[in-house]
Structure 1
Amino acid sequence: MPYPDGHKIKVRGRIIESAAKAFRTNGIRDISVPFIMKGAGLTHGGFYSHFENKEQLVSETCRYAISDTISLLQKAAEMAEGGPKIDAVIDFYLSSYHRDQTEMGCILPALSSEISRSSDEVRQVFSRELQRMIDFISDLAQIPKSTGSALISIMVGALVLARSVNDAKFSDSLLAAGKQQAKELVKTSR
């Protein structure tokens, strides 16, 4: 019996979603194809009918995860009440909720250190997706792209450090400092 139209695309999407969750939580290197396929509710034998290799999956997962993050940040901006939309985005990005929900959070802090040691293909895709994130932030904040790059750097760096420490108060203070500096950067750039 043949599969219904769109079945292969839906299955591929489930695999990418499973990979995004796994990579956000545990990085690339420590996650196996069988683990990703199990997370998608599939056996690992079917992986190669969807992807040439794990690198292709990493590339497509980066695209998916950045789109997902931009969507989350757009929702945060839309919910802004009274203040600048970029402030709502900064508040969401550097919140304890985002810090603690690694499986659904931004992929940039989760993978940046590993991507630097990945193939040129993966690095090229990651670079394009990072630029897309910078463009989104710059446009939303109405700031130059160079300032948007600095803003993303502050936000990602603060989140990485807040996730890295084992002291909740220290972690919260890193998030608060990141918020303050990010908002100050935006304010002085206008």
Structure 2
Amino acid sequence: MSRYEKGHKADTHRRVVEIAAQRFRAEGVDGVGVASLMADAGLTHGGFYAHFASKEALVKEALILALSSSSAYAKGVTADPASPLDLRAYVDFYLSPAHRDKPATSCAMAALAPEVTRRPKATRAAFGKELQRLIARISTGLPEKLSPEHRLGLAYGIFAQLMGSLQLARVIADKALSDQVLALGRNNALAFAGLAQQPAGEKAAAVSKKR
């Protein structure tokens, strides 16, 4: 007779993946050891291989979960999917201080993109599928008069602006300057989408004068 209720192993597996998804974003894939992850889940190091064939198998699952469950992904893909995305609200959320300051639950692409490029092809492909879903969702917030191909191309450019601005804001130790980078990124992303209230050049000049 099993010591555990039915579904216990699946629940444990899921818990380890969830912990890994958060820690990988906060600390990096190579900065997190298997023993430490298992300890966080209340398990022994020796139990790891009852759930995963290798660390890379865990990395693949955790990266996919990190992207699909991140606050940025949820705000985009799962927010009223039957309606066009409120792109202005999404940009404001993505480049907010709150999103910047919570890497463990934030956009996995911004947190882990450099590491994903060094993972095996299967891991990159699985991660890429979730990214494409997010990009497609962002494209629904662009004017319908544009062709689907044009909207998709703009969506990639907008997301690149968002991700780069978030990464740069996190690098900067000066909080005031970091906040300004977020503000510039929001303005530039909205300008790219045709939604800016103030031209990006004027905003940049205003920030420059303040400094």
Range into which the TM-score falls when normalised by the shorter chain: 0.7 to 0.9
Unaligned runs of 5+ in 1: 79-83
Q: Deviations over 1:137-177 (max 9, x none)?
A: 22344671111111110111011000111110111011111
Q: Deviations over 1:66-87 (max 9, x none)?
A: 2212224457x56xxxxx7111
Q: Which has the higher contact order (CA 8 A, sep 6+)?
A: 1
Alignment check: 8 A CA contact 1:91 1:179 kept: yes
Alignment check: 8 A CA contact 1:18 1:37 kept: no
Alignment check: 8 A CA contact 2:169 2:179 kept: yes
Letter matched to residue 157 of structure 2: A
Return the alpha-carbon distance in structure 2 between the equivalents of residues 130 and 139 of structure 1: 15
Deviation of the 1:135 alpha carbon: 1.7
Return the alpha-carbon distance in structure 2 between the equivalents of residues 110 and 117 of structure 1: 14
Q: Deviations over 1:118-153 (max 9, x none)?
A: 222222222222212212222344671111111110
Q: Deviations over 1:76-130 (max 9, x none)?
A: x56xxxxx71111111111100100111111111111111122222222222222
Determine if the alignment matches structure 1 residue 156 to structure 2 residue 163: yes
Structure 2 matches for 1:1-190, cutoff 5 A?
A: 1-2=1-2, 3-69=4-70, 70-73=73-76, 85-141=86-142, 144-187=151-194
Alignment check: 8 A CA contact 2:67 2:127 kept: no
In the superposition, the TM-score normalised over structure 2's length comes to 0.79
Letter matched to residue 44 of structure 2: T
Return the alpha-carbon distance in structure 2 between the equivalents of residues 41 and 141 of structure 1: 46
CA RMSD of aligned residues (A): 1.9
Q: Name the structure 2 match of 1:81.
A: none
Alignment check: 8 A CA contact 2:135 2:156 kept: yes
Alignment check: 8 A CA contact 1:12 1:50 kept: yes
> Which entry has the higher C-alpha Rg, 1 or 2?
2
Return the alpha-carbon distance in structure 2 between the equivalents of residues 134 and 28 of structure 1: 24
Farther off after superposition, 153-162 or 177-186? 177-186
Letter matched to residue 191 of structure 2: E
Return the alpha-carbon distance in structure 2 between the equivalents of residues 5 and 135 of structure 1: 38
In the superposition, the TM-score normalised over structure 1's length comes to 0.87
Alignment check: 8 A CA contact 2:38 2:45 kept: yes
Unaligned runs of 5+ in 2: 196-211
Structure showing the higher helix proportion among its residues? 1
Alignment check: 8 A CA contact 2:77 2:137 kept: no
Distance 1:19 1:167, change over 3 A: same
**Count of residue pairs the alignment pairs up:** 182
Letter matched to residue 160 of structure 2: S
Alignment check: 8 A CA contact 2:170 2:178 kept: yes
